[in-house]
């Protein structure tokens, strides 16, 4: 045993109570985050300010005592690092200059990339020093399919028509974009681990938008290549994979990518989660709206998940990120229920 509950679980140990952390545990539902955010200016500025990014990462650790801290950043720091314009517009979300053609995809320049995003590594190093020794430090990146969706669509999308059009009709250009993002993601996570991250998480938040015929080469294969290359550099690092919305294809994702643990979205039935847990540790999958609702609904949903999954290696988490309207007292109640 390492003395770090999350790492013990990722090594296959069954913990009682299970370790717990929550996606987006640092963010807009906390008043202290809102105050810190005002000091930063824009959202990208906050992500690239080591002092403030470290502070907002630490805030939920101080308030709730989670078993893991996840680096405060954003999956779109990678496209920013490879030279795409990025801004976050109030009421609209992220906006990027969309890539229109294969000719706009640059070769990966590691030196230029690290120069642009190097402050993130400083944040990780600060967190490594600041965190209690029993609290795991999680680094992260977006998976190539999800990051590509923002780069091709120019922001969020309802139908991912441009991205799917590339995947179906322009396979050489699509492969070139995937290769760029695999290279950048490995380089980015390599430096996070070198700075002190013990675990990394790959967020494929829009994996559910990939049709079955595209899923393997757009979601599974790039993820597997990132895991393979990262573990060649850092054999000890643990990788949590999250293919949100993948449904029945989650089984293929878990089996073929080489991930160490599988994060489950809220739509994955617990019977399926139990079957997957027989193969690797699982994480999840409370509906974030149950956390907003609180009371009997939250207690019932939490009990249902704990009863189903506590018999195997399990990390309690949400099925997606905390939403801004979440009352902090509900998070406190959740942790009290899990820990007894």
Binding-site sequence positions for substrate: 24-28, 74, 150, 205, 320
Question: Is-catalytic flag, 24?
Answer: yes
Q: Which helix (H) or strand (E) holds 38?
A: helix 31-40
Strands 86-89 and 136-142: unpaired
List 28, 170, 216, 251, catalytic entry: 28
Cross-strand pairs, 243? 204
Phi, psi of 210 (to 5 degrees): -85, 115
List the one residue out of 231, 253, 228, 252 whose CA is nearest residue 241: 253
CB 36 within 8 Å of CB 54: no
Q: Is 28 a catalytic residue?
A: yes
- Is residue 1 helix, strand or coil? coil
State the binding site.
24-28, 74, 150, 205, 320
> How far apart, in whole angstroms, are the C-alpha atoms of residue 271 and residue 100?
43
Active-site annotation holder among 29, 33, 150, 160: 150
Name the catalytic one among 74, 204, 260, 287: 74
- Dist CA 13 CA 132 (whole Å): 21
Strands 282-286 and 93-96: unpaired
Residue of 29, 33, 37, 80 marked catalytic: 37
Residue 37 annotated as catalytic: yes
Catalytic site residue from 24, 126, 191, 244:
24
Active site residues per annotation: 24, 28, 37, 74, 150
């Amino acid at each position: 045993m390492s003395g770090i509950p999350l790492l013990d679980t990722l090594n296959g140990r069954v913990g009682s109570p299970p370790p717990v952390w929550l996606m987006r545990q640092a963010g807009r539902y906390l008043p202290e985050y809102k105050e810190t955010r005002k000091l930063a200016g824009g959202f990208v500025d906050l992500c690239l300010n080591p002092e403030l990014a470290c502070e907002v990462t630490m805030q939920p650790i101080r308030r709730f005592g989670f078993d893991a801290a996840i680096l405060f950043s954003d999956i779109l720091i990678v496209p920013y690092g490879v030279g795409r314009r990025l801004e976050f517009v109030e009421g609209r979300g992220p906006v990027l200059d969309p890539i229109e053609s294969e000719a706009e995809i640059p070769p990966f320049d590691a030196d230029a990339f690290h120069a642009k995003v190097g402050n993130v590594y400083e944040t990780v190093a600060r967190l490594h020093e600041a965190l209690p020794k029993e609290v795991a430090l999680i680094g992260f990146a977006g998976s190539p399919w999800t990051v590509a969706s923002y780069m091709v669509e120019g922001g969020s999308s309802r139908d991912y028509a441009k991205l799917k059009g590339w995947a179906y009709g322009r396979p050489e250009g699509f492969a070139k974009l995937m290769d760029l993002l695999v290279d950048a993601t490995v380089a980015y996570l390599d430096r996070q681990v070198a700075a002190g991250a013990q675990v990394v998480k790959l967020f494929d938040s829009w994996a559910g938008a990939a049709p079955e015929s595209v899923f393997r080469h757009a979601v599974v294969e790039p993820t597997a290549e990132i895991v393979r290359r990262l573990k060649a550099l850092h054999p000890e690092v643990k990788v949590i994979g999250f293919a949100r919305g993948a449904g029945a294809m989650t089984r293929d994702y878990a089996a073929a990518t080489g991930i160490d643990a599988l994060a489950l979205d809220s739509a994955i039935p617990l019977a399926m989660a139990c079957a997957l847990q027989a193969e690797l540790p699982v994480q999840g999958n409370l509906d974030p709206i149950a956390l907003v609702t609180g009371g009997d609904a939250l207690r019932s949903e939490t009990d249902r998940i704990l009863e189903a999954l506590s018999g195997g290696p399990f990390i309690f988490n949400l099925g997606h990120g905390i939403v801004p309207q979440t009352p902090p007292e509900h998070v406190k109640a959740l942790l009290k229920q899990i820990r007894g």
